[in-house]
Amino acid sequence: CTTSFEDIPGSIRHGSEDIILSDHHFWGGLRSTIELARICRIFDRGLSMHSNSHLGISLMAMTHLAAAIPNLTYACDTHYPWQYEEVLVGGRIPFEDGCVVIPDKPGLGIELDRAALAKLHDNYNRCGLTERNDEIEMQKVHPGWTFEAERW
Protein backbone atom coordinates (compact mmCIF):
# COMPACT_ATOMS: atom_id res chain seq x y z
CA CYS A 1 0.00 0.00 0.00
CA THR A 2 1.55 3.27 -1.12
CA THR A 3 0.85 6.03 1.39
CA SER A 4 3.86 8.30 0.94
CA PHE A 5 6.39 9.42 -1.65
CA GLU A 6 8.96 7.24 0.14
CA ASP A 7 6.80 4.18 -0.64
CA ILE A 8 6.74 4.78 -4.40
CA PRO A 9 10.10 3.20 -5.39
CA GLY A 10 9.18 -0.05 -3.63
CA SER A 11 5.68 0.07 -5.04
CA ILE A 12 7.02 0.43 -8.59
CA ARG A 13 9.69 -2.24 -8.06
CA HIS A 14 7.21 -4.78 -6.65
CA GLY A 15 4.24 -3.80 -8.83
CA SER A 16 2.18 -3.75 -5.65
CA GLU A 17 -0.72 -1.73 -7.00
CA ASP A 18 -2.07 -0.37 -10.25
CA ILE A 19 -3.84 2.64 -8.74
CA ILE A 20 -2.52 5.03 -6.10
CA LEU A 21 -5.07 6.76 -3.92
CA SER A 22 -4.22 10.39 -3.30
CA ASP A 23 -5.53 12.64 -0.55
CA HIS A 24 -4.37 16.24 -0.61
CA HIS A 25 -4.35 16.39 3.20
CA PHE A 26 -2.36 13.20 3.70
CA TRP A 27 0.07 13.58 0.78
CA GLY A 28 1.20 17.11 1.69
CA GLY A 29 -1.09 19.55 -0.06
CA LEU A 30 -2.09 20.64 -3.55
CA ARG A 31 1.36 20.86 -5.12
CA SER A 32 2.39 17.51 -3.66
CA THR A 33 -0.72 15.93 -5.13
CA ILE A 34 0.15 17.38 -8.54
CA GLU A 35 3.64 15.86 -8.14
CA LEU A 36 2.09 12.50 -7.23
CA ALA A 37 -0.03 12.69 -10.40
CA ARG A 38 3.10 13.37 -12.45
CA ILE A 39 4.87 10.36 -10.94
CA CYS A 40 1.84 8.15 -11.59
CA ARG A 41 1.78 9.26 -15.23
CA ILE A 42 5.50 8.57 -15.67
CA PHE A 43 5.27 5.07 -14.16
CA ASP A 44 1.91 4.23 -15.75
CA ARG A 45 0.02 3.99 -12.48
CA GLY A 46 -3.61 4.93 -12.15
CA LEU A 47 -4.58 7.75 -9.82
CA SER A 48 -7.70 8.28 -7.79
CA MET A 49 -8.51 10.74 -5.03
CA HIS A 50 -9.87 10.09 -1.55
CA SER A 51 -11.27 12.51 0.94
CA ASN A 52 -12.27 12.31 4.52
CA SER A 53 -14.80 14.10 6.65
CA HIS A 54 -14.15 17.48 5.14
CA LEU A 55 -16.01 20.74 4.72
CA GLY A 56 -16.50 22.76 1.56
CA ILE A 57 -13.04 24.34 1.64
CA SER A 58 -11.40 20.96 1.29
CA LEU A 59 -14.02 19.68 -1.16
CA MET A 60 -13.38 22.64 -3.48
CA ALA A 61 -9.61 22.15 -3.23
CA MET A 62 -10.12 18.49 -4.15
CA THR A 63 -12.45 19.45 -7.02
CA HIS A 64 -9.99 21.96 -8.44
CA LEU A 65 -7.20 19.36 -8.19
CA ALA A 66 -9.33 16.79 -9.99
CA ALA A 67 -9.97 19.27 -12.80
CA ALA A 68 -6.25 20.11 -13.06
CA ILE A 69 -4.93 16.53 -13.20
CA PRO A 70 -5.44 15.02 -16.66
CA ASN A 71 -4.43 11.50 -15.61
CA LEU A 72 -6.90 11.32 -12.73
CA THR A 73 -9.01 8.74 -14.56
CA TYR A 74 -10.77 7.11 -11.62
CA ALA A 75 -13.69 8.59 -9.73
CA CYS A 76 -12.95 10.67 -6.65
CA ASP A 77 -14.74 9.83 -3.44
CA THR A 78 -15.98 12.18 -0.77
CA HIS A 79 -17.70 11.91 2.58
CA TYR A 80 -19.08 15.42 2.11
CA PRO A 81 -22.73 14.35 1.59
CA TRP A 82 -22.75 12.99 5.16
CA GLN A 83 -21.54 16.24 6.73
CA TYR A 84 -24.26 18.56 7.95
CA GLU A 85 -22.30 21.65 9.02
CA GLU A 86 -20.61 24.09 6.68
CA VAL A 87 -18.41 27.17 6.92
CA LEU A 88 -19.20 28.68 3.52
CA VAL A 89 -21.39 31.65 2.70
CA GLY A 90 -24.45 30.17 1.02
CA GLY A 91 -24.17 26.86 2.83
CA ARG A 92 -23.35 23.47 1.42
CA ILE A 93 -21.86 22.97 -2.02
CA PRO A 94 -24.43 21.43 -4.36
CA PHE A 95 -23.85 18.33 -6.45
CA GLU A 96 -25.26 18.36 -9.97
CA ASP A 97 -25.71 14.97 -11.63
CA GLY A 98 -23.21 13.49 -9.17
CA CYS A 99 -20.60 16.18 -9.79
CA VAL A 100 -19.33 19.32 -8.12
CA VAL A 101 -19.34 22.31 -10.45
CA ILE A 102 -16.22 24.48 -10.32
CA PRO A 103 -17.22 28.11 -9.76
CA ASP A 104 -15.84 30.78 -12.07
CA LYS A 105 -14.73 32.96 -9.17
CA PRO A 106 -11.16 33.65 -7.98
CA GLY A 107 -9.27 31.11 -5.90
CA LEU A 108 -11.34 28.13 -4.87
CA GLY A 109 -14.49 30.05 -5.79
CA ILE A 110 -15.89 30.04 -2.28
CA GLU A 111 -16.33 32.57 0.52
CA LEU A 112 -15.91 31.72 4.19
CA ASP A 113 -18.72 32.30 6.66
CA ARG A 114 -16.54 33.63 9.48
CA ALA A 115 -19.24 33.17 12.15
CA ALA A 116 -19.77 29.52 11.20
CA LEU A 117 -16.01 29.00 11.10
CA ALA A 118 -15.65 30.54 14.59
CA LYS A 119 -18.41 28.24 15.90
CA LEU A 120 -16.74 25.11 14.56
CA HIS A 121 -13.34 26.34 15.79
CA ASP A 122 -14.84 26.69 19.26
CA ASN A 123 -16.28 23.16 18.98
CA TYR A 124 -12.81 21.90 18.04
CA ASN A 125 -11.18 23.66 20.99
CA ARG A 126 -13.73 22.17 23.40
CA CYS A 127 -13.70 18.60 22.04
CA GLY A 128 -10.23 17.74 23.38
CA LEU A 129 -8.91 16.21 20.15
CA THR A 130 -5.78 18.13 19.28
CA GLU A 131 -4.26 15.81 16.68
CA ARG A 132 -5.46 13.38 14.06
CA ASN A 133 -5.45 9.77 15.16
CA ASP A 134 -6.95 7.36 12.65
CA GLU A 135 -5.97 4.41 14.82
CA ILE A 136 -8.73 5.18 17.33
CA GLU A 137 -11.50 4.51 14.81
CA MET A 138 -9.84 1.36 13.44
CA GLN A 139 -9.27 0.05 16.97
CA LYS A 140 -13.03 0.11 17.59
CA VAL A 141 -13.26 -2.67 15.00
CA HIS A 142 -9.82 -4.27 15.42
CA PRO A 143 -8.40 -3.69 18.94
CA GLY A 144 -4.63 -3.35 18.87
CA TRP A 145 -4.52 -2.20 15.22
CA THR A 146 -1.71 0.25 14.48
CA PHE A 147 -0.80 2.21 11.37
CA GLU A 148 2.43 0.87 9.93
CA ALA A 149 4.00 3.32 7.50
CA GLU A 150 6.66 0.86 6.33
CA ARG A 151 5.16 -1.64 3.91
CA TRP A 152 8.24 -3.22 2.37
pLDDT at 10: 92
Model confidence pLDDT, tens digit, residues 24-62 = 988 999 999 999 999 999 999 999 998 767 899 999 999
* Secondary structure letter of residue 8 according to DSSP: H
Residue 99 is inside which H or E element, if any? strand 99-100
Show the domains of the chain with their CATH numbers: 5-141 (3.20.20.120)
Is residue 13 within 8 Å of residue 22, measured between CB atoms? no
Is residue 16 within 8 Å of residue 1, measured between CB atoms? yes
pLDDT at 3: 85
Which are the contacts of 116, defined by CB distance < 8 A and separation ≥ 6? 85, 86, 87, 88
pLDDT at 149: 61
Dihedral angle sign, alpha carbons of residues 87, 88, 90, 91: negative
Residues of the chain with pLDDT under 70: 52, 149-152
